[in-house]
Chain A
């Protein structure tokens, strides 16, 4: 039986996007393979690690746990939208300045969760940062420098 296609219309990083997708397609795969937005990473595929984090209607979500059809009518923001060309935003720059990055695979998700933390808490303490970063796993750095960077970016904003 053919897998039927569904028309979706949404906004991604400020641009209107229309596509015909099978209902079985994950939003993460739609972003990475159909739109070449490869900043969101496919790691655990079950919502544990946060590497696929994007903003959907102003809130961080795991794009591996969402179907592309579910995103119809929504507004998405991916890591690609944070910088202006080679100009990084404060959060991204803080990750560079604090040497928060080793292999880098978790970082797009970490940066977006950092943005959500500032949105929710303004200038959070370190415990709050750690608690709200718990949906993002890093296997390299031990989190210290990631927390440092988010704390700095929050202070600066």
Chain B
């Protein structure tokens, strides 16, 4: 296996032109790729391009309208960010519940996005805050909403030669929360997870509501029917029945489809009653 570690985007693109190998992989934190590769058995790509040293892709910065997260920012740095804690609660909490400390020290937000796991913990928060994913390729850069960027399990709109450079989040004063149901509190892949972004008036009625759930469809999905039902003013008990319209869960090693559907409805209802003070607590 050949290994390259470009120091800049330009160096990365120059490198791509010279490579002829077809089996190629981009490496960031490696916490998802390494268990798949089994280097001790030689199951690895022909070429590995380590992008960790590419300049300028790390850290969280802000301007008046946006928070901008570099793609190589680690999950632990997101967890520790006061800015994220104050303004993007769902992402901060998802980072807290993400694997364990050692993994969070390596895993990157760009990697979590490009893995496009249906269960990715960082993703529901990015969906409800309508994050824009900034990509850099040989022909320039472009920006895509997260929900358009991820198209299936492990599948994204990333073109050959492109990498994710930044994640842009609009500062709209929307509150958000994240909830994860796993088989164990830490280090567990979600059976279901979701994020809720919301604004409430002084009576507790929603002036905006957006929910995205993971592990219940091939990608993260917006629970649009459920949100429409809540916003139309029907009771929580009635609205919760609409959740099944929005999801298409499957059976796998962690849970059955039926379990996921029931569990999602139960934990949603719990969060609406106890965190958002809707219906009877």
Chain A residues within 8 Å of B, Cβ to Cβ: 3-4, 6, 22-26, 29, 45-48, 50, 53, 56, 59-62, 64-67, 69-70, 72, 113, 116, 131-132, 134-136
Contact = CB atoms under 8 A, between A and B. Distances in A.
A65 B103 CA distance: 9
A23 B30 CA distance: 14
Nearest to B36: A46
Contacts of A136: 100
A122 B62 CA distance: 29
A56 B101 CA distance: 13
A24 B44 CA distance: 8
A131 B186 contact: yes
Chain A contact surface mostly: mixed
B1 A3 contact: yes
A65 B39 CA distance: 10
Contacts of B106: 61-62, 65-66
B232 interface: no
Contacts of A3: 1
B103 A62 contact: yes
A135 B35 contact: no
A25 B3 CA distance: 11
Interface residues of B, number: 27
B186 A67 contact: no
B102 A23 contact: no
Contact of B1 (A22, A45, A53): A22
A24 B35 contact: no
Nearest to A72: B5
B1 A24 contact: yes
A4 to B, nearest CB: 6
A59 B31 contact: no
Contacts of A67: 3, 30, 34, 39, 48
Nearest to A60: B102
B42 A53 contact: no
27 contacts: A6-B3, A23-B3, A24-B44, A25-B39, A26-B34, A47-B99, A48-B187, A50-B102, A56-B105, A59-B76, A59-B105, A60-B101, A60-B102, A60-B105, A62-B102, A65-B35, A65-B103, A67-B48, A69-B3, A69-B50, A70-B27, A70-B50, A113-B101, A131-B186, A134-B101, A134-B185, A134-B187
A7 to B, nearest CB: 11
B180 interface: no
A135 B31 contact: no
Nearest to B29: A65
B50 A65 contact: no
Contact of A24 (B30, B42, B100): B42
B102 A135 contact: yes
Nearest to B33: A65
Given A45-B35, A134-B187, A66 B30 contact: yes
A99 to B, nearest CB: 24
B2 interface: yes
A25 to B, nearest CB: 7
A80 to B, nearest CB: 18
Contacts of B3: 6, 23, 67, 69
Given A23-B1, A67-B30, A135-B186, A61 B102 contact: yes
Given A60-B101, A69-B3, 6 more contacts: A45-B35, A62-B31, A65-B30, A66-B30, A116-B101, A135-B102
